[in-house]
Structure 1
């Protein structure tokens, strides 16, 4: 139990705010299904209009994203007092390199990991949702070692 003042409720974000927040960070987590099980990959991405574009090389991520199943991308951020999380759900489309792509989002899309990342993938969203909340002080959750609520440790 704690005596902290009540926190403001979690804020449900509208789509416009979600897109603005997604533009503030460049790393998210791509969720795909592989052989019926979820796999999650970190990706560097860029917002391009009302979609998300990332680069990848050959492998599991590209095969799963290029398949018929839906994907999701989740990104988070925070400042000193608030945190947020945005989820983009949709279909992934493997893009053909084009002048428009390479002078747009592709121009500034730099993966952190070295290697061939010749494939561009766009997530065409079917939904975008997000939440923002006040960060709770760590002291709110602190229990002293050896003491449990309601127990005598002697």
Structure 2
């Protein structure tokens, strides 16, 4: 590794990581399925130093009940030209308390995807880490006109 490139990576404090987590609503949940990792997009809210999301019964639910998991988000600040990435890791627990569910709903934890998402899970964080770095190619953070994703909005 080039020593200059290592200097360009800024380690984020836990407070900075939580600030970024609070500014985003969608992350990638990494879980162990069988003997391999799998990743699911989830919308979430930050609540009292933890992350709350909803899901239905299925692979994501059962995997989070068995093993610790991780949530990753990333982004780009066009003003500074810097990209950032945050990873939060720990065990997930099923929320059964009705007041706790109501508190999560009050934070606008509404599913984006149709279907039953009646299980509320809280990711209790053992670790939260992040980094920020100058993007070599800031243009890749923009969605090109030809990108298939742009077809979804026309």
Q: Which moved more, 1:130-139 or 1:117-126?
A: 130-139
Which TM-score applies when normalising by structure 2? 0.80
Residue 87 (structure 2) pairs with residue 87 (structure 1):
yes
Q: 1:46 is matched with which residue?
A: 45
For 2:89 and 2:49, the matched residues in 1 are separated by 12
Between Structure 1 and Structure 2, which shows a larger proportion of helix residues? 2
Give the unaligned 5+ runs of structure 2: 140-154
Q: 1:15 is matched with which residue?
A: 14
Q: Name the SS for the 1:66 alignment partner.
A: helix
Q: 2:121 is matched with which residue?
A: 121
For 1:25 and 1:85, the matched residues in 2 are separated by 12
Q: 1:105 is matched with which residue?
A: 104
Residues 58-77 of structure 1, C-alpha deviation per residue, up to 9 Å, x if partnerless? 1100011111x111110112
- 1:100 Cα offset (Å): 3.5
Which TM-score applies when normalising by structure 1? 0.80
Task: Give the one of 73, 76, 79 matched to 2:74.
Answer: 76
Give the unaligned 5+ runs of structure 1: 1-5, 140-154
The CA RMSD over aligned residues, in Å, is: 1.9
- 1:101 Cα offset (Å): 2.9
Q: Name the SS for the 2:117 alignment partner.
A: coil
Q: Name the SS for the 2:57 alignment partner.
A: coil
Conserved in 2, the CA contact under 8 Å of 1:28 and 1:42? yes
Matched ranges for 1:128-147 at <5 A: 128-137=128-137
For 2:19 and 2:73, the matched residues in 1 are separated by 12
For 2:122 and 2:138, the matched residues in 1 are separated by 38
Residue 99 (structure 2) pairs with residue 96 (structure 1):
no
Q: Name the SS for the 2:46 alignment partner.
A: strand
Residues 91-114 of structure 1, C-alpha deviation per residue, up to 9 Å, x if partnerless? 010111412331x22330122111
For 2:10 and 2:110, the matched residues in 1 are separated by 32
Segments of 4+ in structure 1 off by > 3 A? none
